[in-house]
Structure 1
């Protein structure tokens, strides 16, 4: 029997939120978990987030997508001239999770970030597709198939509810990247954005894409309570 398919929104170093969310959802070995990118930067513990995702990949079918923050880090690993751009996106928060201190010991970026983490980030995919859904970090060009999508759309396009249109495949798009300040999922029917702004006081969201069941926890790992019950029920 086929397993469930879950999507998880932007984590941004919120390791406690990720741990609680996974403990609640309890993925089984036959399940697929699609993480939508932006695992690092801005939050307190990017290192532990990556450790948790690597462990998860050994338990179930993990599909990690590449976010714009991971893209910026990979570019900085290849070219030190790109370091400033990564820092502007919150890269210093990530480095602090590896023990870096401003003005402290001078080491290269590859010295700070261990090889298993670099290999994991390099293995992240541009997109993922099922018979009913497509998954990207940020957005898409509606008339192009996933294999032809430009990186700028996949990792940087902002979702605007007023101008968004369906993908030409007719599949439901599941995206992150555009933080929903309300903490609520943006559901347009043909597109669902589950970046619910965890790192800035919102929620980390997981969604079973077939049943639309939703689980949410805050950056401290506390479940969200709503009038009429717990969204994690």
Structure 2
């Protein structure tokens, strides 16, 4: 029984298939998707279709990302958030051409069922962006933080990497969970094509929305699996590189 966490996808179905083929998944495995399935490349609706079918065969957990919230609002109310439109929303809307009303309703229901975080039986937290409460995600006052917060990631980047976990200065948020897995902020922002790990936190968004790859990580062994760079797979598109 293996568990893999899979980083931000952003409409890159071709890259997702590359990663999954490397994993050689069986029915005993669990896939935890870190959110942001849509917005960027041209196959957002197709990604959702594929994930819905995959979940019928494999145990999957789909964390909700901020781009998924925007797409859900559009499918539900026709709301076109201005920021969403400029950051991949237009490409997502285009990808739904040819999808029937019933298919769109099924996709909406898929988004609505997504949890904002997941904690496994080894006290590992999987969340799209972060959290702020010193008491953990279950005591967070504003759930919107879960798919937008960058303070957790920025805090760990600024920390003294030699700080001992027993130090009174070690952040309480990091002490709450055995490990924390996030996406949301591309590691390529720091010229790093691989997941970044500091202390017990792993960031596995490796820039698929832009010029990077989709990444999967075995959460036990930390083996890493990656697609090719997304612009190579979609040579006639810009993704979010506008």
User: Taking structure 1 as the reference length, what is the TM-score of the superposition?
Assistant: 0.82
Aligned residues: 212
1:144 and 1:14 map into 2 onto residues whose CA distance is 36
Match of 2:158? 162
In structure 2, list runs of 5 or more residues that go unmatched. Answer: 160-169, 234-242
In structure 1, list runs of 5 or more residues that go unmatched. Answer: 101-108, 222-233
Moved more, 207-216 or 149-158: 149-158
2:74 and 2:82 map into 1 onto residues whose CA distance is 8
* Preserved CA contact (<8 Å) 1:142 1:168: no
* Preserved CA contact (<8 Å) 2:75 2:105: no
Moved more, 83-92 or 43-52: 83-92
- State yes or no: 1:153 paired with 2:145: yes
Q: Which has the higher helix share?
A: 2
User: Are the structure 2 counterparts of residues 66 and 44 from structure 1 closer, same or farther at C-alpha, using a change threshold of 3 Å?
Assistant: same
Provide, for residues 3-45 of structure 1, a one-character-per-residue CA deviation record: whole Å limited to 9, x for no partner. 2111000000000000111111022112111000000001121
- State yes or no: 1:194 paired with 2:192: no
1:144 and 1:207 map into 2 onto residues whose CA distance is 27
Deviation at 1:122, TM superposition (A): 1.1
Counterpart secondary structure, 1:196: coil
Match of 2:180? 173
* Preserved CA contact (<8 Å) 2:75 2:104: no
Match of 2:109? 119
Counterpart secondary structure, 1:121: helix
Deviation at 1:152, TM superposition (A): 3.2
User: Taking structure 2 as the reference length, what is the TM-score of the superposition?
Assistant: 0.79
Deviation at 1:214, TM superposition (A): 0.5
Counterpart secondary structure, 2:176: coil
Match of 1:207? 217
Counterpart secondary structure, 1:198: coil
1:215 and 1:89 map into 2 onto residues whose CA distance is 26
Match of 2:33? 35
Output the aligned Cα RMSD. Answer: 2.4
Deviation at 1:110, TM superposition (A): 8.6
Deviation at 1:113, TM superposition (A): 6.1
Match of 2:167? none
Residues 7-156 of structure 1 mapped to structure 2, 5 A cutoff: 7-99=5-97, 111=101, 114-130=104-120, 131-141=122-132, 143-149=134-140, 150-156=142-148
* Preserved CA contact (<8 Å) 1:38 1:68: yes
Deviation at 1:135, TM superposition (A): 0.2
